[in-house]
Amino acid sequence: MSLRTRTVAWSTGLTGVLATVLVVSAGIGPVSIPPATVAKVLLSADPLPLVFDTPRASRIIVLDVRLPRIALAAFVGLALATAGTVMQGFFRNPMADPSIVGVSSGAAVGAVATIVLPIALPFGLELQGAAFLAAVLTAFGVYLIATRGGHTPTATLLLAGVAVQTFLGAVISLLLLRSGRSLRRVVYWLMGHLGGTTWAEVWVIAVALPPLFAILLFYARDLNVLLLGEEEADSLGVDVERTKRILLGVSSVVTAAAVAVTGVIGFVGLIVPHGMRLVVGPDHRILLPTSALAGASFLVATDTLARSGPAEIPVGIVTAALGAPFFLYLLRSREVTGL
């Protein structure tokens, strides 16, 4: 089977899985709604031409209460899995995740500072805006630190990322000490959460993500060649430094956009790419789209678990609690020597 056929088949299948997960998830909650009704509600939603007769209460619960959160989970899962796939390939390192260059720490500093320090911006989303800016600035700073004479060795980048993360961790701790009554809010943000999602957040990420994802997909072939090592990639006609800049820049922005709205949700960007690589192989032309779709389904499913218990828990706890054992299982069952 050709790569193209496999890519289409896997993507179609995973899109089906995502649709199913969305419908099931939208039906789960304090008020249980049958999947058929959810499907009808979704299909009669505004831009779609179909009209089904559904109870008004169901429409409100699905479209106004649950769907924003589910949609955001899907987009964020997609973003994190995509960025994780790119980072693991970029660094040729199985432990790389979307935050490896300090994006999450940067976002956390921005967000926590906004919560703790007495600054208030006149418009909405100031917390997300600050987190996003801080995240992108951090990634850019790490890149500058690791770059000398136009070259950015990945090993230096990795270590610079670790050092900057440690430093920002100290800053976050200091801010926590000074947080006083907002401590609870800060901790909740840091754990990663999808509660209280508004359509505004969803729209921002829904508009920003597709073009960024397209750029990464565009570079899938270069990323494959880059996996062979930088010197060989150069010998095969890949402009290594330029490609690295683009991959690092785009995936940092993708991660920053996700982390800024949801806080630090761990493990999605680490294990989803790993799992998909085991299933479809290392070729990024198929790995990127399938990881993205699987990441979306994974985060929607775990967030459904997070909110369906007697008391809602931050989704970051669920992804880590499910992800870590699964990761260990992979580690033991497979020789994860390379990736």
Applying CB under 8 A, the residues found at the interface with other proteins are 3, 92, 218, 221-222, 224-225, 227-229, 231-232, 234-240, 281-283, 337-339
Q: In 164-174, which positions are buried (b, 16+ CB within 10 angstroms) versus exposed (e)?
A: bbeebeeebee
Choice between 75 and 213, CB closer to other proteins: 213
Residue 35 or 282 with smaller CB distance to other proteins: 282
Other residues' Cβ atoms within 10 Å of the Cβ of residue 257: 26
Q: Which residues contact 168 (CB under 8 A, 6 or more apart)?
A: 102, 105, 106, 108, 109, 138
**Please, which residue, 210 or 229, has the CB nearer to other proteins?**
229
> Per 3-state DSSP, what percentage of the chain is helix, strand, and coil (rounded to 5)?
75, 0, 25
Q: Which residue has the tokens 């008391």?
A: 311
Nearer to other proteins among residue 3 and residue 121 (C-beta)? 3
Residues 111 and 221: their CA atoms lie apart, in Å, by 36
**Among candidate residues 152, 12, 14, the one with its CA nearest the CA of residue 74:** 14
Strand-pair partners of 148: 151
Query: For residues 3 and 144, which CB has a smaller minimum distance to other proteins in the complex?
Result: 3
Q: How far is the CB of 331 from other proteins (least distance, A)?
A: 16
| Residue 91 C-beta: closest distance to other proteins, Å | 12
**Residue 92 CB, nearest distance to other proteins (Å)?**
7
CB of 87 to other proteins, least distance (A): 15
